[in-house]
Structure 1
Amino acid sequence: MSRTLIFLGFCTVGCLSFVSYNLVRMPALAPFAESLGAGPTSVGIVVAASTLTGVMLKLPVGALSDLVSRRKLMLLSMAAFAGPPFLYPILSSVEVLIGLRVVHGLATAIFTPLALATVASMYPIQRGAALGWYTSAAQGGALLGPLLGGWLVDHGGFATTFTVAGWIGLLALGCYLLVLRGLTENESSFSSSRRMSEVMGEVVQGVKGILRHTAMLAASLAEAAKMVANGTLMAFLPLYLVSIGLTLTEGGILFAIQGVFSFLAKPLMGRLSDRMGRRPLIPVGLLLCGGSLAVIPHMMDFSSLMWLAASFGLGEAIVTASSAALIADLSHSHNIGAGMGLRGTIMDMGHAVGPLLAGVLVALLGYQGAFGLISGLQIAAAGFFMVVTLRRVYEQVAH
């Protein structure tokens, strides 16, 4: 099988996996938790449980994948995509649901950084374009999941929705098995003669080494800043729209515009980063996100908000495609998994912090003040990224 066919197959795996995952997560999860007796606080814990798994595991799992078989670890994640959805319909308590969400979170905690590392290893020259195409495929699945999930919940109920998610997860597992042998494997592989304590010691050293890499940290923080802005919009754009007399249907259209623009732009922005370099593009993407976010609460007409949603989606695409490729560029073959794990962990932190921070700021300052301050965070992240990476360029020239 040619590399192109393997790559297309792997993109299909990513798409199907996130269709399955988001079928469960949006919009079925919160009302399902309520049907089990969860109050608002418990619903928040249920929704956040899988993100917490990512925060805790993406970096160490990424580092582990540099030492053991990355393909086998991803096979474990595919089982985590396919298996848990079949268990949701038989749950009867919120506590067990939270536990299942933690287990289900293993899917993205393992698969996301390892998939990016695999794609980056497959295309060392055209890295930005390849990562752009792959992340577009995964995002396409993440967009399709909630659309299909909403229809299934309305027409078939929770049990049907979760069962369909499980079957799509199994389809993703089947596709993964088809392309498994053709995927690029990391150079280091697990030897049964090595003690697990030795492997874990090397994982710890790999994590420490990545955390000392300031340019990788800066790129990951750029992603986290973008995710803070994204989380702010997810939580408070609908409320702002209602406050100015628009509808939630119009809010859905705005989120769709944002997602479609990001989906379409990622391959193009990845290819552009291959030609122009990653460093100039990431601050541009952050400034687009920040500028769009700052202007949104000053607009009351739907047509202007549509343009701002498109602008935010474009900025999101620029940051995501360029930062993943930059981290792969900065990594060596022995720690690319750890680099992607660092990015994923810090991104998840930003995603979790965004709605919480925005909630406090909206309560204190209103929409204009809150969105303005979080916009300033994008500018600060862009400046920090430029300073750190410029210093790295000077150090390389000096040596």
Structure 2
Amino acid sequence: MSLTDRAYIVQLSIIGFLAIFSTTISKNPVLPLYASSLGANDALIGLISAISPLAGILLSFPVGVISDRLGRRRMLLFAGGVFLVAPLLYLFITDPFMLIPVRFFHGMATAILGPVVSAIIAERFSSTKGERIGQYSSATLYGRTVAPLVGGLLISFFAITPGLFRYQSVYLAAFIAGLIVCLLIFRIPGDKKGLDVTLTFDVFVKSLQVFWADSRLRATAYVDMGTYFIFGAFETFFPVYLVSQGFEVYLIGIFFAVQVLSIALTKPFFGKMADKQDPRYQIMAGLMLLGLSVFLIPFCRAIILLLILTLTSGIGMSLSTVATTKYIADIARKEEMGASMGALSSIMDIGHSSGPFVTGVIITASGYGMGFLSGLLLAIAITVYFMMMTINRKKIQCSLI
């Protein structure tokens, strides 16, 4: 890889780290505390927290389509503007309901960043896109990990200050990170797209039809949906399960640190592996490993066994997610790369949002065993469907003829 390419992926990784740091520190742990201090009840806090992921569900696909037509850099510049402005809006909020539009606006930035950067990497690094996607993804994960720690320290440090400054200091930190993101985006070279392009509603409909008509793209998106369904259920109910079993609260942080590190440290390696071999088998192995690891949690009581399951769940997620993005980049039309990455991101967010709700209903009715079993059953069903639509596709078509 040339020095220019190396500098390019490093710059994208720094952008990803700071951008996700900015959005995460604006949410964890400050958002519920800030909303509560403004007078929000539990129901309103839950609604405020759910708004940002909704932006990803609604906007990731349209953003991908627009980037295919108007250019990646233009969309990143818009995202940079949101990363810059959104943190400042929190400073002027006097009513908790005002947090709803601000959170949606802030969520627009991440809805743009993910699919657009994935498309940029897929186009620029054709032979090593899996490894480069893994590097970028790991950088965003480090930002997501560091942000709550910094946010918590700022809140504690300014705890004696009057008014709401203890919380507003966190959003000032998010603004500084957003400012650097904005400046770095300006250094990204422009592209030639969007010189004579007219965007109409039919363009979006056609792009969606192209994506949905390809069973391979559709099946791969389902894999990401299933992966994040299981992960959403895990990150929501694993801490509750540990507390119910009498574990000390500090151990929860250790378990999640193990999982985060297992994902962040292995993604570049698994991305490189996906570049060198068929990513389809890696996708299926990762999804099944994640589903099986989470399913076994209620049957283990020893700390060492739970640590192993947490580790393997992270490895499974790392295996699958980096390979799905690489596989989408392999099979998507070049002129629809952004749309395909956007659709993948939107469907992933649907799984991430629905996982805690569906699993919570099952756990309430039947306990943790059945709740985590639902994730494994979903993983099995999606793996079989993915196999039929990708690996055994030609055999099925021949049998129908």
Shorter-chain TM-score: which interval?
A: over 0.9
Q: Which runs of 5+ in 2 are unaligned?
A: 159-165
2:226 maps to which residue?
225
Provide, for residues 252-273 of structure 1, a one-character-per-residue CA deviation record: whole Å limited to 9, x for no partner: 1111110000000100001111
Trace 1:356-395 onto structure 2 (pairs within 5 A). 356-394=357-395
The equivalent residue for 1:131 is 133
The reply to whether residue 171 of structure 1 matches residue 170 of structure 2 is no
* Pairwise CA distance, 1:369: 1.3
In the alignment, the residues of structure 2 paired with residue 5 and residue 396 of structure 1 have an alpha-carbon distance, to the nearest angstrom, of 45
- Mark the CA change 1:376 to 1:396 in structure 2 (over 3 Å): closer, same or farther: closer
Q: Equivalent residues in 2 for 1:225-304 (5 A)?
A: 225-304=226-305
Of residues 95, 101, 108, the one that matches 1:99 is 101
What residue is the counterpart of 1:87 in the other structure?
89
Contact 2:359 2:374 in 1 (8 A): no
Give the conservation status (yes or no) of the 8 Å contact 2:67–2:74.
no
Distance apart, 1:203 and its partner CA: 2.6
- Segments of structure 1 that go 5 or more residues without pairing to the other structure are none
Query: Contact between 2:130 and 2:274, CA under 8 Å: does it hold in 1?
Result: yes
2:346 corresponds to: 345
Counterpart in the other structure of 1:189 = 194
| 2:194 partner amino acid | S
Shift of 1:393: 4.9
Q: Structure 2 counterpart of 1:309, which letter? A: T
Partner of 1:155: 157
The equivalent of 1:43 in structure 2 is 45
Instruction: Give the SS at the match of 2:135.
Output: helix
Aligned to 1:140: 142
Give the structure-1-normalised TM-score.
0.94
Distance in 2, matches of 1:316 and 1:24, equals 25
1:396 CA drift (Å): 9.7
1:14 equivalent to 2:23? Answer no
The TM-score, its normalising length taken from structure 2, stands at 0.94
Write out the 4+ residue segments of structure 1 that deviate beyond 6 Å after TM superposition. 395-398
SS at match of 1:352: helix
* Deviation, structure 1 residue 397: 9.8
Q: Is the 8 A contact 1:224 1:346 kept in 2?
A: yes
Paired position in structure 1 for 2:6 = 4
Q: Deviations over 1:210-233 (max 9, x none)?
A: 122211111111111111111111
- Native 8 Å contact 1:188 1:334 kept in 2: no
Whole-angstrom CA distance in 1 between matches of 2:257 and 2:174? 21
Shift of 1:152: 1.6
Deviation at 1:10, TM superposition (A): 1.1
Q: What SS is found at the alignment partner of 1:309? A: helix
Q: Among the aligned pairs, what percent are the same residue?
A: 29
| Aligned 8 A contact 2:83 2:109 in 1 | yes
Q: 8 Å contact 2:211–2:217 — kept in the other structure?
A: yes
Kept in 2, the 8 Å contact 1:22–1:145? The answer is: yes
**In angstroms, what is the RMSD of aligned CA positions?**
1.8
Residue 358 of structure 1, CA deviation = 1.2
Query: Contact between 1:60 and 1:207, CA under 8 Å: does it hold in 2?
Result: no
Number of residue pairs aligned between Structure 1 and Structure 2: 391
Residues 298-322 of structure 1 show CA distances to partners (whole Å, capped at 9, x for unaligned) of 1122221111111011001011110
Q: Residues of 1 paired with 2:371 and 2:349: CA distance?
A: 21
